[in-house]
């Protein structure tokens, strides 16, 4: 795979709904170019692209893989992306390494949700787009109907390369000179037509439709011919970044420019260690050189660099701008980083990943595996930065946040597979709070006599609600308690706030006034007053109408109009309040709501099934509110049961 330069390289992402045939198409392309001698099948687990053990077990792509295809003296670097929505982070990464994207459509299924999502990704990243209708050999397939549906869904820019009239009009609109000629009734020369077609595809005003049947190879070579002819060449690209002062810099994809590369993907290989996939944006790269990581602000020595085709690796010597290469064992480098020459600093924008919408807690199956879980998850996060791991110090749970059940399930399966740690997935615990609605006036007395010095502390404290988390003051008079014991009383109360009397949750919004008490010349000490204060606290909170508080979240849901009724009804069932709605530019509504966190844990799963994966949401903590009495009783009873066990 040597000797390709930026004018003989095409970088193309394959996107689309799960099961539309992306992986099989690549098998057909490799078969057509003589790399393999028989077509691998996803269901047999022997394809070049899906080589990960888990992908073979599951029968679908989980992560992005690179499959270069050499055809007619051009190298097409195909980036095969997963079709399942949980892996949108993989699509975002791939989009950063390519000059065009191909949306595959299963001819027998037509326009699916994944087709729409792929289209939206192409638009979001402003990528020239092709549509390939695959599996046209299936029974009862009506290709004309699929094309009509695509045009209906995505507009007039979607055109078949065989539709001369529609294409001519689209070509004319790509260039003012051609438009004048078109209105003047003049014919385009072949050169003008092709120039206009390339320009229209590059600008996104023309989206060509092609057809194929990957299983028997029909249309595969024609598809590759079209990509070579119409995908914008790597050499014509410009990339925006920042210099060390944060000012904009533009770098051309030119072999004579200073070296710069963007890390768009990381693979955690159990044998080789970490592999980073790099898109060389400018200059050229060879093994053994030193590069500068602009995020880590550290130099890295490049060891072995190689081309990947699925899991196979071919040694690379010198890589030119526009190409994609893998580097092993880089110490500081991770997905989203820029590598460049230190003297020619440039930092490209990092990869953007969606916020996690589903959080689950992981618990070790075997005692003492916590450390292994943490280190395994950190390694997996290098490979898939679209999930997050957090430790909730209050509930003592380790949480994994991702896009859905499939992604979180894959992460825990990889933990077992790659790092030998078994975990159970459980729901998050809710960090409830306790507070008081009433007032109380109580005494706390600690008296202990057991040979030698005793302990004596006696406090009178008034408790009442406060707007602050904890408010403490003293109103002692006449030396009833020496002032040097006041800090111990405050400390005793503050420590007690950590565990409330109702269900052991943190206590908030309490005012305590220490106004009287008594002491003993010999037996009183700080510890005795600390204990007396905690006794007063327990009694005082119970007597001041204690209540349970729950976290309430602010929720914003993006919903297509046809699902509005279902989403609103479901939100009401979750004790949610609808605050308002905002119509969205591309159609649909943004629903603003508030709902208790306890009702929102599995919302990502419900919303996906209610809206056929077209709805999405974001959520953030808003405030604490009182838990309705009947629910509070249940929570308190559960806590008692847990503590008894």
What string of DSSP letters covers 285-317? EETT-EEEETTTTEEEE---EEEEETTEEEE-S
Residue 384 has pLDDT above 80, yes or no: yes
Q: Which of 251, 252, 343, 245 lies closest to 290 in space, CA to CA?
A: 343
Q: Predicted confidence band at 451 (pLDDT cuts at 50, 70, 90)?
A: low
193-220 mean pLDDT:
91
Q: Residue 46's pLDDT is what?
A: 82
Q: Which of 368, 374, 365, 381 lies closest to 398 in space, CA to CA?
A: 374
- Burial of 486 (C-beta count, 10 Å sphere; 0-12/13-18/19+): middle
Q: Residue 2's pLDDT is what?
A: 67
Q: Residue 379's pLDDT is what?
A: 86
Q: Residue 483's pLDDT is what?
A: 93
DSSP SS3 for 332: coil
Q: Which residue has the tokens 């740690």?
A: 421
Q: Residue 293's pLDDT is what?
A: 96
Contacts of 456 (CB under 8 A, 6+ apart): 446, 447, 448, 519, 520, 523, 524, 528
Q: Which domains can be identified in the chain, with CATH numbers?
A: 9-157+206-236 (3.40.50.300), 238-344 (2.40.30.10), 358-426 (3.30.70.870), 434-544 (3.30.230.10), 549-631 (3.30.70.240)
Residue 532 has pLDDT above 80, yes or no: yes
Contacts of 511 (CB under 8 A, 6+ apart): 463, 464, 465, 466, 468, 470, 471, 472, 473
Residue 417 has pLDDT above 70, yes or no: yes
495-511 mean pLDDT:
94
347-367 mean pLDDT:
91
pLDDT tens figures, 305-343: 999 888 888 888 889 999 999 999 899 999 999 999 999
Residue 264 has pLDDT above 90, yes or no: yes
620-631 mean pLDDT:
94
Residue 270 has pLDDT above 70, yes or no: no
Q: Which residue has the tokens 């001369």?
A: 164
- What are the angstrom distances between the C-alpha of 28 and each of 83, 212, 254? 19, 10, 32
CA angle 87–90–91, rounded 5-degree value: 100
213-217 mean pLDDT:
87
Q: Residue 51's pLDDT is what?
A: 67
Q: Residue 19's pLDDT is what?
A: 86
Q: Residue 152's pLDDT is what?
A: 93
| Strand ranges, E, within 156-228 | 158-160, 207-211
Residue 367 has pLDDT above 90, yes or no: no
- Burial of 75 (C-beta count, 10 Å sphere; 0-12/13-18/19+): buried
pLDDT above 90 coverage of the chain, percent: 66
Check residues 281 and 48 and name the one with the higher pLDDT: 281
| Average pLDDT along the chain | 91
pLDDT above 70 coverage of the chain, percent: 99
């Amino acid at each position: 795979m040597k000797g390709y330069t930026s004018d003989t390289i095409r970088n193309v992402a394959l996107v689309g709904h799960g099961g539309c045939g992306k992986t099989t198409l690549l098998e057909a392309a490799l078969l057509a170019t003589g790399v393999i001698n028989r077509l691998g099948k996803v269901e047999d687990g022997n394809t070049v692209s899906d080589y990960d053990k888990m992908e073979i077990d599951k029968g679908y792509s989980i992560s992005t893989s690179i499959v270069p295809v050499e055809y007619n003296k051009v190298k097409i670097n195909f980036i095969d992306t997963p079709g399942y929505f949980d892996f949108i982070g993989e699509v975002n990464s791939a989009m950063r390494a390519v000059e065009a994207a191909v949306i595959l459509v299963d001819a027998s299924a037509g326009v699916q949700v994944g087709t729409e999502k792929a289209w939206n990704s192409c638009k979001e990243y402003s990528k020239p787009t092709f549509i390939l209708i695959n599996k046209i050999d299936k029974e009862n397939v009506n290709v004309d109907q699929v094309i009509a549906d695509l045009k209906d869904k995505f507009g007039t820019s979607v055109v078949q390369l065989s539709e001369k009239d529609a294409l001519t009009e689209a070509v004319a609109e790509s260039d003012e000179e051609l438009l004048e000629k078109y209105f003047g009734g003049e014919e385009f020369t072949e050169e003008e037509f092709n120039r206009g077609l390339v320009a229209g595809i590059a600008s996104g005003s023309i989206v060509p439709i092609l057809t194929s049947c990957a299983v028997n190879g029909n249309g595969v070579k024609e598809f590759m011919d079209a990509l070579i002819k119409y995908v914008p060449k790597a050499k014509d690209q410009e990339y925006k970044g920042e210099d060390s002062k944060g000012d904009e810099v533009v770098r051309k994809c030119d072999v004579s420019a200073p070296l710069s590369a963007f890390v768009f993907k990381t693979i955690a290989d159990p044998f080789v260690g970490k592999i980073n996939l790099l898109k060389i944006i400018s200059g050229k790269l060879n093994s053994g050189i030193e590069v500068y990581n602009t995020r880590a602000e550290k130099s890295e020595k490049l060891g072995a660099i190689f081309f990947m085709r699925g899991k196979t690796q071919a040694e690379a010597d010198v890589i030119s701008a526009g190409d994609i290469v893998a580097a092993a064992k880089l110490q500081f480098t991770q997905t989203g980083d820029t590598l460049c020459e230190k003297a020619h600093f440039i930092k490209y924008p990092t990869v953007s990943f969606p916020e996690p919408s589903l959080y689950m807690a992981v618990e070790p199956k075997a005692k003492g595996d916590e450390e292994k879980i943490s280190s395994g998850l950190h390694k997996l996060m290098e490979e898939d930065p679209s999930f997050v791991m957090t430790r909730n110090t209050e509930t003592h749970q380790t949480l994994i946040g991702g896009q859905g059940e499939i992604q979180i399930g894959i992460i825990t399966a990889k933990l077992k597979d790659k790092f030998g740690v078994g975990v159970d997935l459980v729901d998050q615990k809710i960090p409830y709070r306790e507070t008081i609605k009433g007032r109380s006036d109580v005494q706390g007395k600690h008296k202990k006599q057991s040979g030698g010095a005793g302990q004596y502390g006696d406090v009178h404290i008034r408790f009442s609600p406060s707007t602050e988390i904890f408010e403490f003051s003293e109103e002692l008079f006449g030396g009833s308690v020496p002032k040097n014991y006041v800090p111990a009383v405050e400390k005793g109360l503050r420590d007690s706030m950590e565990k409330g009397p109702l269900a052991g949750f943190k206590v908030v919004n309490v005012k305590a006034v220490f106004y009287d008490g008594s002491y003993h010349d010999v037996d009183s000490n700080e510890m005795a007053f600390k204990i007396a204060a905690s006794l007063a606290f327990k009694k005082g909170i119970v007597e001041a109408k204690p209540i349970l508080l729950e976290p309430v979240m602010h929720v914003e849901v993006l919903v297509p109009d046809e699902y509005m009724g279902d989403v609103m009804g479901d939100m009401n069932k979750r004790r949610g309040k609808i605050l308002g709605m905002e119509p969205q530019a591309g159609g649909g509504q943004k629903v603003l709501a508030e709902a208790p966190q306890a009702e929102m844990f599995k919302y990502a799963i419900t919303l996906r099934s209610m809206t056929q994966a077209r709805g999405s949401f974001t959520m953030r903590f808003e405030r604490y509110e009182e838990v309705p009495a009947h629910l509070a009783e249940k929570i308190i009873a559960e806590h008692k049961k847990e503590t008894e066990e």
